């Protein structure tokens, strides 16, 4: 797997990640543009995001809501428009700003959250693109709907008027071996394929980060989330 020095400049870091994505896509016999890179910009200043945007990066992922809103507002006038993904755990009392400011939410795992996002999304804005977070493995610290609960949640969320359900997201157990990584990603891919006949709009798998992006792409990932390898070491986090 390619490694990227945290001291290299943004252009070199971005080129290295794009090269790694392209190589994995070629191995999977997929076009490289079938994979979207989401730059995880939490704790990074707006200037660092702008530097990557100047190099053609459009999609950015944020975990910390208050911090994210300031950056979104600062960069709102950029052209082409940046695409903002909320990838952190979402509490019901924080859904309104997410519905107002973001284009995507990757971490919907219960109906109450989805209902609030739909109610609070402006009718003048495009539908909010959402992925349902699925819990793979038995890790108490990770959120997500179980595979058994997924069909009922899909049926409920697809009926909400201001949301467009796009696919599934997962944070599987960390594995060093590529075959073990692929096992978890294959499980999420199979869930998507199982439910596509009933929900033909499902076209997105949000899975894979720096350490396992090759395995994720080989198993069909369409959204890859990469942070440190693009920006260098994170600054002190904020809530």
At 150-167, the pLDDT tens digits run 999 999 999 999 999 999
pTM of the model: 0.93
Answer whether residue 1 is part of any domain: no
Q: Which of 68, 23, 66, 22 is nearest to 41 (CA)?
A: 68
Count CB-CB contacts under 10 A for residue 7.
Answer: 9
- Taking residues 182-189, report their average pLDDT: 97
Q: Compute the Cα dihedral for 173, 202, 80, 107 and give only its sign.
A: negative
Residue 236 confidence (pLDDT) above 80: no
Q: Residue 152 phi/psi, 5° resolution?
A: -65, -40
Answer whether residue 236 is part of any domain: no
Q: What is the pLDDT of residue 7?
A: 41
Q: Which range marks the domain in which residue 67 is found?
A: 10-230
Residue 33 confidence (pLDDT) above 70: yes
Quick one: which H or E segment has residue 150?
Answer: helix 150-157
Residue 231 confidence (pLDDT) above 80: yes
Answer whether residue 119 is part of any domain: yes
Residue pointed to by tokens 């944020």: 62
Q: What is the pLDDT of residue 142?
A: 85
Contact by Cβ (8 Å): 159, 123: no
Q: Compute the Cα dihedral for 198, 109, 76, 232 and give only its sign.
A: negative
Domain total in the chain: 1
Name the DSSP class of 67: H
The runs of H, that is alpha helices, within 171-222 are 178-195, 213-218
Where residue 1 falls among pLDDT bands split at 50, 70, 90?
very low
Lowest mean pLDDT of 59-73, 137-151, 188-202, 211-225, name the range: 137-151
Give CA–CA dist 176/130, Å, rounded: 29
Q: What is the pLDDT of residue 140?
A: 77
Q: What is the pLDDT of residue 4?
A: 38
Residue 3 confidence (pLDDT) above 80: no
Residue 6 confidence (pLDDT) above 50: no
Answer whether residue 17 is part of any domain: yes
Q: Per residue in 48-69, pLDDT tens? A: 999 999 999 999 999 999 999 9
Q: Which of 188, 204, 151 is nearest to 34 (CA)?
A: 204
Quick one: which H or E segment has residue 21?
Answer: helix 10-27
Answer whether residue 106 is part of any domain: yes
Where residue 8 falls among pLDDT bands split at 50, 70, 90?
low
CATH of the domain at 103: 3.20.20.10
Residue 234 confidence (pLDDT) above 80: no
Give CA–CA dist 167/146, Å, rounded: 15
């Amino acid at each position: 797997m390619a490694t990227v020095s945290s001291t290299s400049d943004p252009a070199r870091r971005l080129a290295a990640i794009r090269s790694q994505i392209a190589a994995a896509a070629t191995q999977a016999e997929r076009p490289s543009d079938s994979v979207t890179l989401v730059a995880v910009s939490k704790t990074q200043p707006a200037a660092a995001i702008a530097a990557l945007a100047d190099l053609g990066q459009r999609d950015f992922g944020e975990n910390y809501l208050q911090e994210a809103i300031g950056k979104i507002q600062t960069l709102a006038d950029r052209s082409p428009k940046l695409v903002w993904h909320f990838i952190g755990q979402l509490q019901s009392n924080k859904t309104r700003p997410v519905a107002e400011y973001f284009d995507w939410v990757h971490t919907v795992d219960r109906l109450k959250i989805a209902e609030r996002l739909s109610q609070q999304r402006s009718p003048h804005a495009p539908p909010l693109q959402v992925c349902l977070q699925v819990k793979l493995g038995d890790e108490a610290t990770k959120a997500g709907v179980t595979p058994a609960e997924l069909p009922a949640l899909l049926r409920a969320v697809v009926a909400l008027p201001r949301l467009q359900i796009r696919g599934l997201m997962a944070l599987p157990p960390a594995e060093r071996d590529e075959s073990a990584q692929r096992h978890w990603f294959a499980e999420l891919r199979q869930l998507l394929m199982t439910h596509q006949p009933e929900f033909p709009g499902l076209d997105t798998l949000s899975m894979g980060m720096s350490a396992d992006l090759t395995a994720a792409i080989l198993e069909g990932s369409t959204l890859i989330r990469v942070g440190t390898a693009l920006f260098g070491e994170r600054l002190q986090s904020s809530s």
